[in-house]
Structure 1
């Protein structure tokens, strides 16, 4: 992470860059957005439309560390989840890329310095 042009690169089969996250932007974003994070458990009922319930388990995470983030990618605890958000603007549907990284609940402890689990059913 000492190369100012370095970063995470997603390449296609021909080696062309499909997406890029520069280290300086990752560090800035990670510190700003993920320094203090709360993960909330959820469950879903398979009906039409699906219904979601949130809680009661909550994980409070602090100490976002970019080295932990990179290590979690290497160890496949964090994975890339491409998506497209489509918005209606002036009568025209416009796609908007949404490049996201995901982590499973059980792996969130790998990317933060400290995590605390709370069950809200047991909080007064």
Structure 2
């Protein structure tokens, strides 16, 4: 039986780790966690924030995920959107999900990310 979602993996091009660290740790505020040595040799990086785990894996023939995406719950979504915009990230608001405020953005390699907050 399924009990939980362990992590979501997104692809990234070779050599993008520093940009990913600057974005996921520096801007989103996630913590980078060490990969096991056998996996670290493949490149990429892993991040966590609370129970949220995102793995960025190197893909030689990389194409960013433009439709598929993780949906990440946040608190104080307006401040979060302002933080991303202040760092030059695109913020595309969307009011189509009843009971939520949400917006879309992209990581530095072009992967789509959804940020949402349930309305009180």
- Identify the TM-score tier after normalising by the shorter chain: under 0.3
TM-score (normalizing by structure 1): 0.23
Larger radius of gyration: 1
More strand by share: 1
TM-score (normalizing by structure 2): 0.24
Q: Larger relative CO (CA 8 A, sep 6+): 1 or 2?
A: 2
